[in-house]
Amino acid sequence: MTTTAPAPPRRRGPSPAAWSVTALVVVAHVLAWRGTDMSPAALATGWRGMADFLGDALPPDLDWDTVLGPSLRAAGVTFAIGLLGTSLSVPFALALAVLASRTTTYGPAAYQVSRSVLSFLRSVPDVVFALIFVTAVGLGPFAGVLALVLHNIGVMGKLWAEAMEESDPGPRDALRVLGASRVQTVAHAVLPTVFPQLVGLLLYRLDVNVRSSLVLGLVGAGGIGFLINQSIKLFRFDQMATHILVVLVLVVAVDQVSDRVRRRLA
């Protein structure tokens, strides 16, 4: 008895919804291209300006007393701003993350309020916070630290809340069945489960905040960003190149250390 092989299933084309999404993406990119005045021709004709800029920046000025020494000291300040802006935000971000996670919140009201606070702190750029604090405490690194603390609470609180929502429900449910309180459940079930993720996100934010502290220096928050801004205003692009090289070394060093810590926690 012979049996006929079943016919291969027909390949279906893209659904109308997929075509609609594709068309929407294309239209959005066309509008974005026009709205940002993208012009490859202008970039091609502006090569002389870029060549002149690189000619003024190279070779970098490596004089220790006037450029390299102050640059390294300012890089240390920049790292300190990023470090304190990250570490000082941890307790506030953790408290808001617990309230903003559906698995650990204390009710709908606490969830909505904490989510709103995190959204506000996250939506205000750290540069805006820095400008506000500069008017309050004056120019210097302190304003940069305060700006990063507030902005980092919003970003890190949201990331931590999402990590808690994705935690394994087994230990959490087991403690609740045994009559553990909400605080005990969070401390002994949720946080130990997601601890590696929380530390990984914290190290990621440290990397981001070190780079952000560079930008904050451009608005008067101290650090090596202030030296870069000063060298640009004085048209000392060779000094600017030195500061950028120091920033590159700093960012690579922070990234390498963070990567090693994340690997050990994995």
Say if 4 falls within a structural domain: no
> How confident is the model at residue 266, as a pLDDT?
64
Please state, in angstroms and rounded to a whole number, the distance separating the CA atoms of residues 105 and 112. 10
Range of weakest confidence among 176-185, 227-236, 238-247: 176-185
Among residues 75, 62, 55, 49, the alpha carbon closest in space to that of 228 is found at 75
Handedness of CA 40, 43, 45, 51 (dihedral sign): negative
Residues 6+ apart with CB under 8 A from 120: 154
Helix and strand tally (H, E) in the chain?
A: 13, 0
Residue 174 lies in a domain: yes
Per-residue pLDDT at 167 exceeds 80: no
CATH number at residue 226: 1.10.3720.10
Distance CA(1)–CA(135), nearest Å, equals: 91
pLDDT class of 74 with cuts at 50, 70, 90: confident
The answer to the question of residue 121 being in a domain is yes
Q: Is the pTM here over 0.85, yes or no?
A: no
Q: What is the mean pLDDT of the chain?
A: 81
114 and 104 in contact (C-beta within 8 Å)?
no
The structural domain count of the chain equals 1
80-136 pLDDT tens trace: 888 998 999 999 999 898 888 888 778 788 888 988 999 999 888 888 888 888 888
Q: Which domain holds residue 140?
A: 62-265
Q: Which of the four pLDDT bands, split at 50, 70 and 90, describes residue 180?
A: low
Mind listing the pLDDT tens digit for each residue in 8-56? 556 666 677 778 888 899 999 888 988 887 878 777 777 777 777 777 7
In this structure, is residue 3 part of a structural domain? no
Question: Mean pLDDT throughout 165-169?
Answer: 74
Residue 220: pLDDT over 80: no
- 26 inside domain: no
The reply to whether 86 falls in a domain is yes
Domain presence at residue 30: no
pLDDT tens, position by position, 143-164: 888 999 999 999 999 988 888 8
Whole-number pLDDT of residue 149:
92
pLDDT surpasses 80 at 5: no
DSSP string, 162-200: HHHHTS-HHHHHHHHHTT--HHHHIIIIIHHHHHHHHHH
The verdict on residue 46 lying in a domain is no
